[in-house]
Amino acid sequence: MEAAGCPSRRTGDRVRPHGQGRVAGFGQLQALAAKPTAILCSNDMTAIGVLRAAYMEGLRVPQDLSVVGLDDIDFAEFTLPR
């Protein structure tokens, strides 16, 4: 990121959610002293869970938090924001 002129904070913090843990994993990240500005999810279902949790916390996507899912499932087209 730095090589591209984009400053980044590498914290090494990872959360591995399972099932209902998607929202709990988001809570773990939000509890960090340096809250993330972006969350990269290994799949779209996890990203959808993060979108829901962010909404519940009053965060705006993408203004307050960027969320990325990686497998482009059909259902993702119906999420907000898109």
One digit per residue, the tens of pLDDT, for the chain of length 82 reads 566 666 655 555 555 555 555 567 788 888 888 888 999 888 898 899 899 999 999 999 999 999 999 998 998 888 888 6
> Cβ–Cβ contacts within 10 Å for residue 42, how many?
13
Give the 3-state secondary structure of residue 38: strand
pTM beyond 0.75, yes or no: no
Question: What region, left, alpha or beta, does residue 19 occupy, with left being phi > 0 and alpha being psi -120 to 50 degrees?
Answer: left
